[in-house]
Structure 1
Amino acid sequence: MSAADTHATEPVTGGRPQLPSPLTTRPAAKRTGRAAGRSRQSRSLPYLLIAPALVVMIGVLGYPLVDTIVLSFQDERRNNLWNGVAAPWVGFDQYTSILGDSEFWTVVVRTVVFVIVCVVGTMAAGLLIALLMQRVSNWVRVTMSSVMIAVWAMPLLVATSVFKFMFDSDYGLVNQLLTRLPGVDYTRHNWFLNPTTGMGIIALLVIWGAIPFIAISLHAALTQVPKELEEAARIDGAKGFGIFRYVTFPIIKPVFIMTSTLSVIWDFGVLGQILLMRNGQPEQDYQLLGLYSYTQAFTVNSFSRGAAISVVTVLLLSGIAVYYLRQLLKIGEVE
């Protein structure tokens, strides 16, 4: 290429090549700096927004947890509270005591069985109701949702009173209905003399109170299942259960796992239902982990032993909590 051609391709001003002006480059640099500043602000904004909530959570949840852990390494009793004397430091003695106690492991097994029954019953009933809500008319669906929200909002004391009335030995509605059956006499039958039936009634109370959240959550997930996929499966010859198993359930599976995990965590902490159903004095066969920790702390007056049981319970639930967080992260990655 000749020199003439080279100069012909360059913009000229008065026969000289035009150089970039500082007036044109400076605004571009400013714009780049402002864009970088906005990018940094956008990255830090979410952390600034959740900072107040984190501070509150650390104060409300973090401090009691740390204090409970410290208390579990001491031997705090009522005389220490009354006299203001510092509790002696005993190290792992509380943990050694409870882990070597057969009664503690009996309570653990009873709690696990209770949680399994409650979670299976809650998820099965909630899923069936969610599927039913898909197949009814709008006004029936609205009515069902309103009733379930009312059940969900009902105070625990009121719900427990309803169940106590239903299964009362003298005036219970269940006993009266069963007595009307031919050859059946449940007059003055006490359901709580047998711990198995008594815990079954408490499990019904827990399931009844948890169904609304599960049913509404699963129904919301079912509304996200594309109808085209189900229709295509029917065309291919799939039947009702096959469509649900291979098309519907894989789509709602993340929500199903999250709600079932939450149910496990909630059911591990059942306390008020047992206390209210047994008039504040539950028998030994009605002890679950949460109630067992409460009893050891405030009935036996061994606060450190109750704290140690609470810490062990938290450790047992930590694996479930980690699993729950992993499911949340997976859903976030999919979205």
Structure 2
Amino acid sequence: MTTTLISPEQASSAAPAPTKRKKRRDGTSLVLLLPALIMLVVFIGWPLLQLIIMSFQKYGREQIFGAPPSFVGFDNYVKVLTDPEFWVVLGRSVALCVVCVFATMVLGVGIALMMRALGKVMRTVVSVGLLLAWAMPALTATIVWGWIFDTSYGLVNYLLTQITGQNWIGHSWLSDPLSFFGVAAMIITWGAIPFVAFSTYAGLTQVPDEVLEAASLDGAGAWQRFRLIVLPYIRSILLVLLILQVIWDLRVFAQIYALQTIGGVRADTNTIGVYIYSVSMATGDLGSGGAIAVILVIVLLAISAYYIRNMLREDES
């Protein structure tokens, strides 16, 4: 029996050449995305384009009733950016946003951690409570909170009177700007906590229990386990939640406007969302209102782009 030796060159020439698998390109993905893209263009893209165009025009009450708008270039932006009131309102809005976002993230993550440690029955009770708070419209919630802080019949003034022994009946929480924003921050945080809590809890369910138990056996405390194990697992979720909370809290409108209607001083408590409405509707200057809105969109896009870029950079590394 003879054995035929084949050289590597002959083996390579005899072996069939590998065929490159061509990626199959079809329009299935595009067809699936098309309804969402159409919705985005119709309900976001087109109004945003109209807003940008309006911000470069003189658009007042005459134009509302049919007069053609005139192009004014960057005059509306110059008018807004040179107005000291705009910068005061913007700074006030940023300060309120920072307080609300910090409180929402801390309390939301804390509640999510508590839900993970609770039993099934108590977790269900907490979930129902969060859902009820989440389902309540912002305007309705603000009215209810307005009753709680009512000057004469509010629960807060009554409890403070009973606890401290001093007469708090008649004290107005909304007339002073500082206490006004304290109440507003409470309402905004209360309405935003459920979303953060549920989203964070969903991320916590993906953390392996075996890793946490092993770390606990090695002597890691609760804070060390959260910082070194849990946080890396849910970092991307927290980043998305942070971006969303900044966007929502910076442009908050309903809560501030409703509290102003109940008893706040509008000139001292305007935030950027209410300020846009006041400039556009109260003075009828839709062009300047559009310029403020475009500036706010640019600020929010810059914040979102910064955090998203950092998130992508961390994922690549």
Same fold (TM over 0.5): yes
C-alpha contact (below 8 Å) 2:177/2:265 kept by paired residues: no
Question: CA shift at 1:232, angstroms?
Answer: 2.0
Query: 5+ residue gaps in structure 2?
Result: 5-18
Alignment of 1:53-202 (within 5 A): 53-82=36-65, 84-202=66-184
The 5 Å alignment of 1:214-225 reads 214-225=196-207
Q: Residue 301 in 1 paired to residue 300 in 2?
A: no
Name the amino acid aligned to 1:223: T
Report deviation, 1:320. Answer: 2.3
Check whether the contact 2:174–2:259 (CA below 8 A) recurs between aligned residues.
no
Q: Is the 8 A contact 1:152 1:210 kept in 2?
A: yes
Query: Partners in 2 of 1:180 and 1:236 — Cα distance?
Result: 50
Offset at residue 259 of structure 1 (A): 0.7
- Deviation readout 1:5-41 (Å, 9 max, x if unpaired): 9xxxxxxxxxxxxxxxxxxxxxxxxxx9xx96x8222
Shift of 1:269: 1.4
Q: What's the CA shift for 1:247?
A: 1.4
Give the paired residue count.
299
Quote how far apart the aligned CAs of 1:155 are: 1.7
Query: For 1:232, which of 207, 214, 219 is the aligned residue?
Result: 214
Alpha-carbon distance in 1 for matches of 2:57, 2:131: 44
Letter in 2 for 1:102: P
| Counterpart-to-counterpart distance in 2, 1:172 and 1:151 | 20
Query: For 1:246-282, what per-residue CA distance to the aligned partner results, in whole angstroms no more than 9, with x for missing partners?
Result: 1111211111111111100111110011111222885
The equivalent of 1:317 in structure 2 is: 300
* Stretch deviating more after TM superposition (240-249 or 190-199): 240-249
One-letter amino acid of the structure 1 residue matched with residue 291 of structure 2: A
The letter of the residue matching 1:253 is R
1:210 Cα offset (Å): 0.6
Name stretches of at least 5 consecutive residues in structure 1 with no aligned partner.
Answer: 6-31
Code of the aligned partner of 2:166: V
Partner of 1:48: 31
Give, in whole Å, the separation in 1 of the partners of 2:125 and 2:314: 31
Structure 1 length-normalised TM: 0.84
Q: Is the alpha carbon distance of 1:120 and 1:167 closer, same or farther for their aligned partners in structure 2, counting shifts above 3 Å?
A: same
CA distance, structure 2, for counterparts of residue 257 and residue 182 of structure 1: 42
User: What's the secondary structure of 1:278's corresponding residue?
Assistant: helix
| Kept in 2: contact 1:274–1:282 (CA 8 A) | no
Q: Give the Å deviation of 1:321.
A: 2.6
- In the TM superposition, residue 193 of structure 1 has moved relative to its aligned partner by 1.4
Q: What letter corresponds to residue 262 of structure 1 in structure 2?
A: L
| Structure 1 range deviating more: 119-128 or 181-190 | 181-190
1:149 and 1:327, CA in 2 relative to 1: closer, same or farther beyond 3 A? farther
The CA distance in 1 between the partners of 2:253 and 2:269, in whole Å, is 10
Shift of 1:328: 7.3
2:225 aligned to 229, 234, 243, which one? 243
What residue is the counterpart of 1:27 in the other structure? Answer: none
- Write the distance in 2 (CA, Å) between the matches of 1:331 and 1:140: 37
For residue 40 of structure 1, what is the amino acid of its counterpart?
Answer: R
CA contact (8 A) 2:175 2:265 kept: no
Equivalent position SS for 1:237: coil
Q: CA deviation at 1:219?
A: 0.8
The aligned residue for residue 276 of structure 1 is 258
* Matching residue's letter, 1:309: I
8 A Cα contact 2:177 2:269, kept in partner = yes
The amino acid that maps onto 2:213 is E
* TM-score after normalising by structure 2: 0.88
Tell me if structure 2 keeps the 8 A contact 1:152–1:213: yes
Higher mean C-alpha deviation, range 291-300 or range 175-184: 175-184
Identity rate of aligned residues, in percent?
38
State the alpha-carbon separation in 2 of the partners of residues 179 and 142 from structure 1. 35
